[in-house]
A = this chain, B = another copy of it.
Amino acid sequence: MKHIRILLVDDHPVVRAGLRAMLSDFEGVSVAAEAADGDTALKELKRLKALDEAVDVVLMDLQMGAGMDGVTATTRIRLLEEAPQVLILTTYDTDADILAAVEAGACGYMLKDAPPEQIRQAVQAAAAGQTALAPKIAALLMNRVANPAAALTPREIQLLELLATGLSNRAIAKETFISEATVKTHLVHIYEKLGVDNRTAAISVATQRRIIRAPGQ
């Protein structure tokens, strides 16, 4: 079996050290380089390629403190010539994260609480160009496909975002140039789709499902 060369991308030194230690225990795998953010990751990929030591798999965290975020980085990486596979390894298991990652061209999605053995398998699957999903993630995707009712319209998402900033119905109405009555109608639909019955709960669920960004972020 071909030797697998890996690039680690995570903003936490601790996590990088952990992955390096973990991966070094596996046969046929080596960590070629590390990066703390997306920009550095791209530079490293180019540098290694120039040295004829191209990377096979990128292990990517989605949540990056500063610099380019994981989804953007994944997109950019997959646009490269002879792009390496990108395997997402993150803490969060929300729908929006996963969908965004898949859209960006990731070939797998694992959670950081996975046991080493699962991570090893995922890396090897990724290197072979196969998809690698954590069991939790697979279940979540199934559930989503089975229940598309929860899809909010763009307009509803827009109002939800304004809602999360703390605006009243009246203020939202002014902001969007519609009547307060219409705002209420939209809110009712939003509540139904999210399975809640008030605005704060809507914000909580929507944030959790990554339908909107966290308030004030």
Contact = CB atoms under 8 A, between A and B. Distances in A.
Interface string A194-215: 0010111111110110000011
A91 B65 CA distance: 10
Contact of A166 (B13, B89, B167, B198): B198
A68 interface: no
A14 interface: yes
A114 interface: yes
A18 interface: yes
Max chain B CB contacts within 10 Å: which of A15, A116, A119, A164? A15
A125 to B, nearest CB: 18
B17 A13 contact: no
Q: Which size bracket describes the interface of A in this complex? A: 35 or more
Interface stretch (A19-27, A38-46, A47-55, A80-88): A19-27
A12 interface: yes
Max chain B CB contacts within 10 Å: which of A22, A113, A115? A113
A204 B165 contact: yes
Contacts of A196: 166
Given A116-B13, A216-B205, A200 B19 contact: no
A215 to B, nearest CB: 4
Given A164-B204, A216-B205, A21 B12 contact: no
Given A21-B20, A215-B214, A217-B208, A201 B166 contact: yes
Interface of A: 11-22, 65, 89, 91, 112-116, 119, 163-168, 196, 198-205, 207-208, 214-217
8 contacts: A14-B112, A14-B114, A15-B112, A166-B198, A166-B202, A167-B200, A199-B200, A203-B215
